[in-house]
Structure 1
């Protein structure tokens, strides 16, 4: 169920579309041509009014000269049918009380007298047109005083729309609209007229619902105590406003326009957008600010508008100095147009969290801004919170790739436009199952992977990839067949010329050819048998190689242990000497916890070996050097615990020199090196390098299976060997 606010927003959009249609005054829906005066064209058609579509007769006549001709009459069937009458671009200089009386038998609901060089209109000239709803007097030269009195006859009709644009009305009196004060739901179109306009004149139109007031060279709007409680639509485009008009009563913090829903104030050259001048517009749903020269956008710029639906801030980037965080912060906001601003989103003064707080945003248009060197993390900061987006437009942004945030977080997107960029890979889009419309024309796409479109094709209703440099090889054959089978999705039925934009860029002999003209088939794209066999053989070998490599990597510690034990069993020697210790452990002070907590419990408790560690076993009061020499001589094996701390310790280096001298005199088999971590090359001494090159070392690993293999190898290296044990074969 739609909420009341949503229905109001839909209604506002409908009103705006109706006003655009009414300004053009064009027939809608199907039309049927009728016979009428030879100077005119007549149709039976449909026109949309506030109440809905109405079946009417339409008569269009141009270049009439009332000084020589009589006014043309509509077809007779229009006596009982609403009629729209367009007498435009002629010469009708004078409208007396009886000039239009010939139309009194007809039900004239729309009358356009646009651009007829009208200079005089009698007071009751329109009094006979009782059904009249819309009147267009634009582009005539009626003096202000005469036009003011002509409103008397207009007020007698049920008029809802009056167009008096482009009439050179440079001076307007306070009582200009006095005869129109009582008209309800009145819409006034007053474009391109005056330099000076007293707002007191408009204040008489208390029931006005729509005001088009663009192109009047206004520099200031003095609202004073004006209040327009019925106004829903206000257009102030193309004036000379340098500051945002004050729509609020500061004393009471209330609005001069409490029911205003659509505000257009574009192309005025405004430098500043002051929040306290418009935050009282509690009913505002659409705000159009394009083409101004705003220097700064502040945090929470639009947060005080409780019903805002759409904001357009395009063509404003050339003067922009600073964009703060959360400019558009408003949970009601559904649409933002921030296009054609040419803003570099890498500049320090442009905060990437500009859209923070737009939790309900459904449409975002960022066309023609600069994202050429924006990183994945920066895109995530900019767009990552907009999870409600359904339409995203980022054409002409210099994109070199499809940002991951779009494909991984913005999964509700139904329409995506990334045209006129430098994107070459569409594979990231393959999981966007909600995507219905895709526009990627004029990128760097050369080939298309069919598997990437398997899920996309199910939901796509419109796609445009025209203008890309396609490589016309067999791997694009599926795409050509898709275009041929579903031309509607590619827009070929609406615009057949679009087919010519799908061309080959390579190979050279097909350059410039249309994709749809290529003579491809399944047979020509099948591989020969020899190529198939070769490809299959190479594929099998590759798979075997990969599987073997994976198995060897998985069991690499076990394999290394097996090889080592085979080699070790072949060179094992029997030592019959008696030693005080089985193992002397050399280590640095920072590695003491690993020795005490990890090494000793395994070797002394589980393996029943007697270890000499200097913290526990060195004789107190004896020189350290003597302790080290005695411990080395009294130990059957020596274990060096090697780490970066060991390599940097001068005492440890001295201890290493003593050990190496002992090993050279008594055999390499005495030494076991345990490497706790990778040693920084800056810390490796010549003695250490020589030791590592001539001694097999054990590498400590963090994985469980690596630790198990480590202790298995260490246990075999340190265990006591007897003649009976040496003769026995090792089992793995």
Structure 2
């Protein structure tokens, strides 16, 4: 549609659902205020310099859904009026640095999506008036501090893909939630055995244990302190499982972190849960805290469900190599090294390494240090081999792989991608921000992208050269 659509809908005054997404609109069309029966207005992915002036929304008293997702809002002069029936508001990926010129005031709002607004700044009263809010999505906003929320019960709070470094006790915030997603943050430790417990004097949480509450912490940076205890941790069997105390969270997902061992405080905090997922962690069964973990696993069977990547099964060792894959609870632990702190040092310094082992370690280290060059040589050999045989374009998953600087991401996503992926061209592009596999080495991703693309597009700018 053109930017001026003032006469487009004058003959349709009873429209209830209007989708104006993926057009060239630079503002909310004035004609919208005539549609007094409108319940849903979709304005996502519009002009790159959208000016949000909200006076055209004032007459829309029946509006329930308002979606600006993917529309870069460069000017927001007046706050959205407090529409009485608005339930769902999406402002995701709108290039916002703050959520409007004034706090949100929507008496019926239940779903608010502010995801993918990098470096957005939230004031203390941004959400305080949203008393009926059930779903708050702040995914990928690079937040590092907990937002101030109204004291209500949420169905979902999504804070994944941010920069949080510490675990937050929601009970202290006066907030209850069924699913709290804090995955893919930078949380690296917790050392409070009561972090999941409800304080006895908090009446608001007195009946929370009957509700299912899930905390997702997968793909964070949880790890175990480097200094290993030289004494065996106390046996927790019968201590923390005899009477399970009330918690503000029922299930915690700690999978795919870097936990190698558990301190007594960590185990005590997990003992209050109904279920915990510990899969994908590199458990070191030679750590001196292994006996405490074994005792906890044996005792947890009756009160805590231990999951491994979403399924019931035994937690297994990752280290040392001789015990890789063995169930942690069944490992015969040798505690002699933990009793004498000099034993490991004597073994490390007293036994000379053989020449063969030294050579093996040397080649292994060289292979690790130059793994990028090795991957390049392998790819070069594949290219030369493929040059001798006819190209099989049928195996290409993409029309083109786009190579560009991260500083040019906005131009690529707003200009290049819409131009090529929309009709009539409808090309399939491979973008590293969108299509690269997580957890795979960057060189491997680039090689796979080139091999499975018909062409390569290089966005050659000064940022790319630098």
For the pair 1:237 / 2:44, whether they are aligned, the reply is yes
Q: How far did 1:220 drift?
A: 2.9
Which of 416, 422, 425 lines up with 2:221 in the alignment? 422
Separation in 1, partners of 2:19, 2:321: 57
Judging changes above 3 Å, is the alpha-carbon distance between structure 1 residues 455 and 226 closer, same or farther for their aligned structure 2 residues? closer
For residue 434 of structure 2, what is the aligned residue in structure 1?
none
Separation in 1, partners of 2:124, 2:134: 18
For the pair 1:440 / 2:254, whether they are aligned, the reply is yes
Separation in 2, partners of 1:478, 1:357: 41
**1:673-713: CA deviation from partner (whole Å, max 9, x where unpaired):** xxxxxxxxxxxxxxxxxxxxxxxxxxxxxxxxxxxxxxxxx
Check conservation: 1:326, 1:357, Cα contact below 8 A: no
- Partner-residue secondary structure (3-state), 2:7: helix
For residue 212 of structure 1, what is the aligned residue in structure 2?
19
For residue 285 of structure 1, what is the aligned residue in structure 2?
87
Check conservation: 2:77, 2:101, Cα contact below 8 A: no
For the pair 1:471 / 2:260, whether they are aligned, the reply is no
Judging changes above 3 Å, is the alpha-carbon distance between structure 1 residues 484 and 217 closer, same or farther for their aligned structure 2 residues? farther
Q: TM-score by structure 2 length?
A: 0.53
Q: How far did 1:398 drift?
A: 1.3
For residue 506 of structure 1, what is the aligned residue in structure 2?
319
Q: Which runs of 5+ in 1 are unaligned?
A: 1-193, 346-351, 535-732
Separation in 1, partners of 2:144, 2:245: 30
Judging changes above 3 Å, is the alpha-carbon distance between structure 1 residues 240 and 383 closer, same or farther for their aligned structure 2 residues? farther
For the pair 1:261 / 2:54, whether they are aligned, the reply is no
Q: How far did 1:243 drift?
A: 3.9
For residue 397 of structure 1, what is the aligned residue in structure 2?
185
Q: How far did 1:255 drift?
A: 2.5
For residue 132 of structure 2, what is the aligned residue in structure 1?
332
Separation in 2, partners of 1:403, 1:275: 46
Aligned positions of 1:63-74 closer than 5 A: none
Q: Report which of the two has the higher share of helix.
A: 1
CA RMSD of aligned residues (A): 4.5
Check conservation: 2:82, 2:107, Cα contact below 8 A: no
Judging changes above 3 Å, is the alpha-carbon distance between structure 1 residues 526 and 342 closer, same or farther for their aligned structure 2 residues? closer
Which of 185, 196, 207 lines up with 1:407 in the alignment? 196
Judging changes above 3 Å, is the alpha-carbon distance between structure 1 residues 216 and 325 closer, same or farther for their aligned structure 2 residues? same
Q: How far did 1:226 drift?
A: 3.2
Which of 93, 96, 102 lines up with 1:294 in the alignment? 96
Separation in 2, partners of 1:219, 1:503: 56
Judging changes above 3 Å, is the alpha-carbon distance between structure 1 residues 484 and 286 closer, same or farther for their aligned structure 2 residues? same
For residue 144 of structure 1, what is the aligned residue in structure 2?
none
Q: TM-score by structure 1 length?
A: 0.35
- Partner-residue secondary structure (3-state), 1:226: helix
Separation in 1, partners of 2:306, 2:11: 53
For residue 221 of structure 1, what is the aligned residue in structure 2?
28
**1:366-385: CA deviation from partner (whole Å, max 9, x where unpaired):** 2222233x6x9xx68x9843
Q: How far did 1:219 drift?
A: 2.2
Separation in 2, partners of 1:488, 1:384: 26
Q: How far did 1:407 drift?
A: 2.9
When the two structures are aligned, how many residues end up with a matched partner? 303
Aligned positions of 1:42-441 closer than 5 A: 194-196=1-3, 198-224=5-31, 226-240=33-47, 242-248=49-55, 255-276=58-79, 278-297=80-99, 301-302=103-104, 304-318=105-119, 320=120, 322-330=121-129, 331-345=131-145, 354-372=147-165, 384-402=172-190, 407=196, 412=208, 414-424=213-223, 431=245, 433-441=247-255
Q: How far did 1:453 drift?
A: 4.7
Separation in 2, partners of 1:312, 1:420: 22
Separation in 1, partners of 2:191, 2:75: 33
**1:109-139: CA deviation from partner (whole Å, max 9, x where unpaired):** xxxxxxxxxxxxxxxxxxxxxxxxxxxxxxx
Higher relative contact order (CA 8 A, sep 6+): 2
Q: How far did 1:273 drift?
A: 3.9
**1:238-275: CA deviation from partner (whole Å, max 9, x where unpaired):** 111634544435xxxx8332111111111111134445
- Partner-residue secondary structure (3-state), 2:252: strand
Q: How far did 1:214 drift?
A: 1.6
- Partner-residue secondary structure (3-state), 2:73: coil
